[in-house]
Structure 1
């Protein structure tokens, strides 16, 4: 697959910037004094901002957001709530300005072959994937592939990869927890709807007649998936961009799957050969 154009914890902006900043501070579990020390301000000034008695400057909003690890999209929301223009653009992924970025990401995941790798946006829409991912998608119905495949649907849908994932309950729990954390940051209605959809998918009963897997000491929770009669094991890693200055770029994630045992690595290299 090649990269294509892809499609937010935030309270209503009409409550003002103060309650929003207080919510982010409480989420980080830090006091007004600690935030003030980090932002080179005073606890009194932070208190006045949160209660609406003082209007923060644009610079102060951005500084507080930085120290509270507020996602880029939500920093724009804070600025709007404070009466300022958004600071971070949201460039469409197919914009020529992002040509170098798209080309670099595609080269990155292609260079990871024969191991699987893909790129997703904030709603887990797959915007690019390499051949390592493509080999798992044989037999997946077209309805899950169009108009654009969604990584969570592909993995957890009963007609997707779910029936082939040997440790589905554990892997499903890992993915749902990951989504819950993202929802806590973004409070996106679309993301919440996706979560409710995939969380409601039925979980196949384990095969009582199947042979128990040999106990293996993994260094991270693996995804154990059946492929053409053998079980492959992978651990995943997710990478994002450091200090992004664009909403679209900030919400892209590159997920790579590393073989969790020598047998899986050997098999993938044999396919590549």
Structure 2
């Protein structure tokens, strides 16, 4: 994804972000130590905000880092945040830290995805869950959403697929509300249109199929070699990122949700 400066000016863009966040001009002015009159002048193009003001308003509106660059360009300033490839030498410490984290979480599954859910790193626990999947789904770039929801992917193995699918699509909808990404919108429309696997439809008709779930969180219940493994998902991001690539990284770890899953995974490394 690239940063594109729109020719509508920074004012309308800031106004759109403010309305999307459901913040009034007065409330934004109080947060940014400004005045409602000045915010109004910026939004209508009667005043040109300073670079510092653009960044301050973007911070209080929780504008994603990539979109902050677009705001700066629209206001006539240079982008503030670089977008560095993960294999760049300057990212060596980050890359090694991520790999150590993933290895340290084994035998439990864990992976790292970018802003479009393309997998940039994964551990052996994820590889275990992907055993036997078609090669065409495993060809790079490997996409976590496509891999999970495709009827030839993990979908037929997920016992509570209807609930898990709803959770993932809702997660993507929340992300689309925070960031304007055509590629993410295209991915959402693609995976949302996938047909349900026949196994999921069969389970909907079979009242005895579902496995009891914890009440505190929705697990992913997935079949593996004749047994059902249950995982709780946790997602972590980096605080105060100063690089677009880092800002869009998410580390997802899968914590065993029942003793049987813990016992089985530990037996794999015994």
Which TM-score band applies after superposition, normalised by the shorter structure? over 0.9
In 1, the alpha carbon distance for the partners of 2:25 and 2:257 equals 44
CA separation in 2, counterparts of 1:206 and 1:171? 16
Task: Please give the residue correspondences for 1:37-186 in structure 2 after superposition, counting only pairs within 5 Å.
Answer: 37-186=30-179
Whether the aligned pair in 1 keeps the contact of 2:117 and 2:143 (CA below 8 Å) is yes
Work out the number of aligned pairs and report it: 266
Gaps of 5+ in 2: none
Q: What is residue 217 of structure 2 aligned with on the other side?
A: 220
How many angstroms does 1:253 deviate by?
A: 0.5
CA deviation after TM superposition for structure 1 residue 206, in Å: 2.6
Shift of 1:31: 1.1
Q: Is the counterpart of residue 189 in structure 1 residue 173 in structure 2?
A: no
Q: Which residue of 2 aligns with 1:231?
A: 228
Aligned residues: CA RMSD:
1.7
Q: Is the 8 A contact 2:213 2:219 kept in 1?
A: no
CA distance in 2 between partners of 1:47 and 1:100 (Å): 44
1:209: Cα distance to partner?
5.6
Contact 2:117–2:144 under 8 Å retained in 1: yes
Q: CA deviation at 1:103?
A: 0.3
Distance 1:79 1:210 in 2: 55
Q: Distance in 1 between matches of 2:220 and 2:105?
A: 18
Residue-by-residue CA offset, 1:190-229 (whole Å, 9 max, x unaligned): 1111111111111121334684335343311111101111
Change in Cα spacing, 1:214 to 1:96, as seen in structure 2 (3 Å) is: closer
Structure 1 unpaired stretches of 5+: 1-6
**Bigger RCO (CA 8 Å, 6+ sep):** 1
